[in-house]
A and B are shown apart, each in its own frame.
Chain A
Amino acid sequence: MVSLTTCINNLELKNPFILASGIMDEDAGSMKRILQEDAAAVVTKSIGLHERNGHSNPTFLELEHGLLNAMGLPNPGIDSYGSEIKKINNDNGKIIGSIFGSNVEEFEILSEKMQNYGVNALELNLSCPHAKGYGLEIGQDPEEINKIVRAVKQSVSIPIFVKLSPNVNDICMLAKAAEQGGADAIVAINTVKAMKIDIETKRPILANKIGGYSGKAIKPIGIRNVYEIFEAIKIPIIGVGGITKGEDVIEYIMAGASAVQVGSGIYYNGIQIFTQLKEQVIKWMTQNNYQNIKELIGVAHK
């Protein structure tokens, strides 16, 4: 019997598959539906202090090898979102509340409110590549990351995950800053800054011009980042980027991830991707004589 149970510090997950933030997580109904699939946890949409419409459409398009989006952190504001979280029954899996703020104080308020709503862990969005004054704009300074994580750590008792961007010089330095601030895990990676220009109308298609690239094309970037972060820190890593099949999960875990998140994979495979990944990972482990997925964490580091 193969065991897929994994732990992110003291947060136990029935398997390593987590719904990534920004995908089918704007309301309770859609998150409940994903938790009925074989996802161990869902990350909520990133929530800020106030209601925000995000960018105008086009906010999404498909490219040859991936997806490009610039949603721009749309969210109803933390006070409206509480009722959505409270409607989800945690029996089927865990809820990870994603939050974004522009400074320490905002992160403190958001984290306390999220904890009160009953989420099992927090994910700090310090990496959205397409929202002015938020995400990546404050998530590339190690000191700022350290200050925010330290403050949130003092405000709440639930585990804190820090989601980092690959659009930086040295992601390991940022991961270390988060670890020193008291983070319980690093989530890597957010989307890669990218653009698509329509050559007939001679303009970028996204209303925000620049967006975040996700999907199959960014998997090697995610693997490299997870591999490097694994050597730099001791806390667990949650790998994200381009996962569409069981082998991708195994690869992330070998690079050093304790769990993985899936977002664009839902575009390629539908919401049944969580069940597919589970079956494929079990098959691979059985064929390769592994009983426990934890045995595979970081084995590529030789």
Chain B
Amino acid sequence: MNQPEIVKIESIQNETDSIKTITFFYKLETIPGQFFMIWIPGIDEIPMSVSNINNDNKAITFRVVGDATKSLFNLKKHDLIGIRGPYGNGFSFHGNHHLFIGGGTGIAMIAPAVESCLLRDEPVDVILGAKTKDELFFIKRLQKTDANVHIATDDGSKGYKGYTSKLTEKIIKEKQIDTIYTCGPELMMKSIFEICIKNNISLQASLERYMKCAVGICGQCCIGEGLRVCIEGPIFSDKQLLDISDFGVFNRNASGKKKNIQP
């Protein structure tokens, strides 16, 4: 039933000064790219993608961006939170050579997708991008796998100096990439989308919108011609994105008012 199931926090891991992973016991089968609605009793309920799937243990990884994530950040082991979901479609892997691109906290949901894709025994490259090296996380986790890990920072404090999109252009020249999977700031994903269209590479991008019901009725997260990010998304293909005029242009706040996100 779509109401919060109360779970105890099993463990808390610090990833950086402002990023934590919270692990909890939650049985429902979940695939990478799907998300939960996380209820912090008395505070808020927010959508959050799964960042680790280990049988019945699931995790979320987040940065403090507002009151809800601040409260979540201050919770202790064995504190109670409510979980409903998982929601949304999740990634579906296509092609032979896969490139994953996580920007900022988008890395959180890219990591389990990389791990899941590697089970196909096909080459996987992954770009982890952030403004600066202190904001990067999950590097060791992914370096332990068979994926080729690339790092990009805007300030060059670690890895390639520059945007993930620039590094993407470099990688696709060297390797025959069939599909790109991405999650990160929408303008970053828009640049990657343009690269994919130009180079005829399939894309799956994870979009983020303000969520309320998460079950496809309230209309809060609708984009384009009535596509619900919580049901038809959050992962959209390059073909779908071509028809979503909102993509990289605007989103809507809690009131439903449009907010321009163009630079």
Q: A residues engaging B (CB < 8 A)?
A: 22-27, 29-34, 45, 51-54, 56-64, 67, 69, 71, 74-77, 80, 196, 198, 200-201, 203, 205, 207, 263-264, 266-267, 270
Q: Which residues of A contact B41 (CB under 8 A)?
A: 198, 201, 203
Whether B46 contacts A26 by the Cβ 8 Å rule is no
Whether A267 contacts B217 by the Cβ 8 Å rule is yes
Map CB proximity to A onto B221-258 as digits: 1 under 8 Å, 0 otherwise: 01111111000000000000000000000001111111
Q: Which residues of A contact B217 (CB under 8 A)?
A: 23-24, 60, 67, 263-264, 266-267
Is B39 an interface residue when CB atoms closer than 8 A count as contact?
A: yes
B29 to chain A, nearest CB (A): 19
Tally inter-chain residue pairs, CB-CB below 8 A: 130
Whether B222 contacts A62 by the Cβ 8 Å rule is no
Whether A61 contacts B3 by the Cβ 8 Å rule is yes
Of all chain A residues, the one with the shortest Cβ separation from B45 is A57
Q: Which residues of B contact A34 (CB under 8 A)?
A: 226
A56, A75, A200: the one within 8 Å of B255 (CB):
A75
Q: Do most interface residues of chain A lie in helix, strand or loop, or is the interface mixed?
A: loop
Whether B213 contacts A32 by the Cβ 8 Å rule is no
Candidate in A22, A60, A62 with the most chain B CB atoms within 10 angstroms: A60
Of all chain A residues, the one with the shortest Cβ separation from B8 is A200
Q: Which residues of A contact B6 (CB under 8 A)?
A: 198, 200-201
Whether A198 contacts B258 by the Cβ 8 Å rule is no
In Å, the complex CA distance between A196 and B168 comes to 49
Whether B3 contacts A22 by the Cβ 8 Å rule is no
Whether B219 contacts A25 by the Cβ 8 Å rule is yes
Known: A26-B222, A61-B84. 10 other contacts (CB 8 A): A23-B218, A59-B213, A60-B212, A60-B215, A60-B217, A61-B4, A64-B1, A75-B256, A76-B258, A198-B41
State whether A30 and B255 are in contact (beta carbons under 8 Å apart), knowing that A57-B212, A205-B4, A207-B44 are contacts in the complex.
no
A23, A29, A52: the one within 8 Å of B223 (CB):
A29
B13 to chain A, nearest CB (A): 24
Q: Which residues of B contact A75 (CB under 8 A)?
A: 255-256
B44, B82, B218, B228: the one within 8 Å of A71 (CB):
B218
Q: Which residues of A contact B254 (CB under 8 A)?
A: 53-54, 74
Whether B216 contacts A56 by the Cβ 8 Å rule is no
Q: Which of B28-71 contact A (CB under 8 A)?
A: 37, 39, 41-42, 44-46
Is B220 an interface residue when CB atoms closer than 8 A count as contact?
A: yes
Q: Which residues of A contact B148 (CB under 8 A)?
A: none
Among all A-B residue pairs, the 5 with the closest Cβ atoms? A33-B226, A57-B45, A76-B257, A62-B2, A30-B226
Whether B225 contacts A26 by the Cβ 8 Å rule is no
A289 to chain B, nearest CB (A): 36
A280 to chain B, nearest CB (A): 21
In Å, the complex CA distance between A15 and B39 comes to 41
Whether A76 contacts B212 by the Cβ 8 Å rule is no
A26, A58, A267: the one within 8 Å of B256 (CB):
A26
Candidate in B1, B82, B222 with the most chain A CB atoms within 10 angstroms: B222
State whether A74 and B256 are in contact (beta carbons under 8 Å apart), knowing that A59-B213, A60-B213 are contacts in the complex.
yes
B213 to chain A, nearest CB (A): 4
B220 to chain A, nearest CB (A): 6
Whether B226 contacts A29 by the Cβ 8 Å rule is yes
State whether A76 and B256 are in contact (beta carbons under 8 Å apart), knowing that A32-B226, A61-B3, A198-B6 are contacts in the complex.
yes
In Å, the complex CA distance between A270 and B1 comes to 16
Is B9 an interface residue when CB atoms closer than 8 A count as contact?
A: no
B92 to chain A, nearest CB (A): 20
State whether A52 and B252 are in contact (beta carbons under 8 Å apart), knowing that A29-B224, A57-B45 are contacts in the complex.
no
